């Protein structure tokens, strides 16, 4: 990957992060107005979620800026895992919001309250839905190009918002025309449970990344296939993979004929690395060359 392309991707990630903060702040203001005018708990729950998004998106923005810093003397793998830390904090924000709304929804379900101006609430929620949809589409575009974990976590918030905004719009329409006041609390409770579910998923992914869980079987099999198809490859073992945020790290032992020169072994390793980088252009590849048939203790033989 060229330096120019890498810089463009970093700029794209930062732009997505800034847009997330701006939209979350704008939507929070809109939903505060809607809550004041309608008294809807469902809108209030969405407002709490948007306020948490402001904080979460701010964390994401600075995590992206930090994670895109080049590797340093003290952090030679780079700062990519700052995104996983960001995702960890975001999951906690979402969980706290979900629990708060869940408790409030259960309390209000016992004594449903009539809503005031539903038309303003419906109008504001439609605006929120359309703006959120535009942001999610842009975020998905950036995620496909950068594989940013922080943006994935941030986009998950707004995917939830799309569902909740649509649900709230439908509930406000039902309340306005059919006076089903308890539906407001039910929608708020459903939203809170969905928030808790999303928080669990984000928390799990962040923890597994920070603990260096292996990449998917599909990625491992692809890498092994790329290595084994080289005509000089006699074997491969001790393949280790992990995520460094937007980058993958691949480490493995490459088995070669024992009678080749050191320079030839070096050239073969570079050919193998270049082949892997064609498929995973932003990866780091570490190769240990060794003679085929060497007797040694292997990681593959000692795994649980």
pTM of the model: 0.69
Q: Give, for 200, the enclosing helix (H) or strand (E).
A: helix 182-210
pLDDT in tens, 288-297: 999 998 888 8
First to last CA, the chain: 36
Q: What is the mean pLDDT of residues 88-102?
A: 83
pLDDT at 190: 85
Same domain, residue pair 203 and 249 = no
Same domain, residue pair 68 and 182 = yes
Same domain, residue pair 285 and 159 = no
Taking each helix axis from N to C end, the angle separating 41-67 and 149-178, rounded to the nearest 10 degrees, works out to 170
Same domain, residue pair 287 and 167 = no
* CATH number for position 260: 3.30.70.1350
Answer left, alpha or beta for residue 158, where phi above 0 means left and psi between -120 and 50 means alpha. Answer: alpha
Out of 151, 186, 210, a domain closes at 210
- How many other CB atoms are found less than 10 A from the CB of residue 233? 17
pLDDT in tens, 22-78: 888 998 999 999 889 888 888 887 887 788 778 777 776 777 677 778 888 898 888
Most confident range, picked from 5-14, 82-91, 167-176, 284-293: 284-293
Asked if pLDDT for residue 182 goes beyond 60, the answer is yes
Same domain, residue pair 135 and 154 = yes
Q: What is the mean pLDDT of residues 269-289?
A: 94
pLDDT at 263: 96
Instruction: Dihedral sign for Cα 131, 133, 136, 138, please.
Output: negative
User: What is the residue range of 119's domain?
Assistant: 3-210
pLDDT at 4: 56
pLDDT in tens, 110-160: 877 667 667 888 899 999 999 999 999 998 888 888 877 667 777 876 877
Place 166 in a pLDDT band, splitting at 50, 70 and 90. Answer: confident
Same domain, residue pair 52 and 192 = yes
Q: Three-state SS across 102-135?
A: HHHHHHHHCCCCCCCCHHHHHHHHHHHHHHHHHH
Same domain, residue pair 197 and 92 = yes
Same domain, residue pair 132 and 245 = no
Task: Identify whether the C-beta of residue 189 lies closer than 8 Å to the C-beta of residue 109.
Answer: yes
Q: Given strand 248-256, what is the order of strands in its sheet?
A: 235-243, 248-256, 284-291
Same domain, residue pair 203 and 229 = no
Give the count of domains, the chain: 2
State how far the Cα of 194 lies from the Cα of 154, in Å rounded to an integer: 15
State how far the Cα of 233 lies from the Cα of 6, in Å rounded to an integer: 31
User: How many residues would you count in the chain?
Assistant: 304
Task: Identify whether the C-beta of residue 128 lies closer than 8 Å to the C-beta of residue 32.
Answer: no
Pairing of strands 248-256, 235-243: antiparallel
* CATH number for position 68: 1.20.1510.10
Out of 182, 210, 238, a domain closes at 210
pLDDT at 81: 85
Out of 210, 245, 265, a domain closes at 210
pLDDT at 6: 67
Whole-Å CA distances, 232 to 227, 254, 271, 296 = 10, 10, 10, 21
Same domain, residue pair 262 and 296 = yes
Place 101 in a pLDDT band, splitting at 50, 70 and 90. Answer: confident
pLDDT in tens, 189-240: 888 888 888 889 889 988 998 999 999 999 999 999 999 999 999 999 999 9
Q: Give, for 287, the enclosing helix (H) or strand (E).
A: strand 284-291
């Amino acid at each position: 990957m060229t330096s120019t392309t890498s810089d463009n991707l970093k700029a794209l990630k930062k732009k997505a992060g800034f847009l997330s903060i701006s939209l979350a702040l704008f939507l929070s203001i809109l939903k505060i107005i809607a809550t004041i005018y309608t008294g809807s708990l469902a809108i209030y729950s969405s407002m709490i979620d948007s306020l948490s998004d402001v904080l979460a998106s701010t964390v994401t923005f600075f995590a992206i800026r930090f994670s895109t810093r080049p590797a340093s003397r003290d952090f030679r793998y780079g700062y990519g895992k700052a995104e996983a830390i960001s995702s960890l904090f975001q999951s906690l924000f979402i969980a706290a919001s979900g629990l708060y709304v869940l408790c409030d929804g259960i309390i209000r379900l016992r004594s449903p309250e009539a809503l005031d101006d539903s038309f303003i609430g419906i109008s504001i929620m439609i605006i929120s839905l359309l703006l959120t949809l535009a942001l999610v589409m842009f975020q998905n575009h950036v995620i496909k190009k950068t594989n940013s974990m922080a943006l994935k976590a941030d986009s998950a918030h707004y995917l939830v918002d799309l569902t909740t905004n649509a649900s709230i719009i439908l509930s406000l329409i039902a309340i306005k025309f059919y006076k089903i006041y308890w539906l407001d609390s039910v929608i708020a409770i459903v939203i809170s449970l969905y928030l808790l579910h999303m928080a669990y998923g984000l928390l799990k992914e962040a923890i597994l990344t920070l603990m260096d869980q292996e990449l998917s079987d599909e990625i491992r099999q692809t890498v092994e296939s790329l290595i084994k198809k080289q005509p000089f490859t006699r074997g491969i073992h001790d393949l280790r993979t992990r995520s460094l945020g937007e980058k993958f790290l691949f480490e493995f032992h490459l088995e070669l004929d024992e009678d080749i020169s050191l320079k030839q072994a070096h050239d073969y390793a570079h050919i193998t690395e270049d082949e892997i980088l064609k498929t995973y252009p932003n990866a780091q590849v570490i190769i240990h060359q060794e003679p085929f048939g060497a007797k040694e203790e292997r990681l593959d033989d000692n795994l649980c």
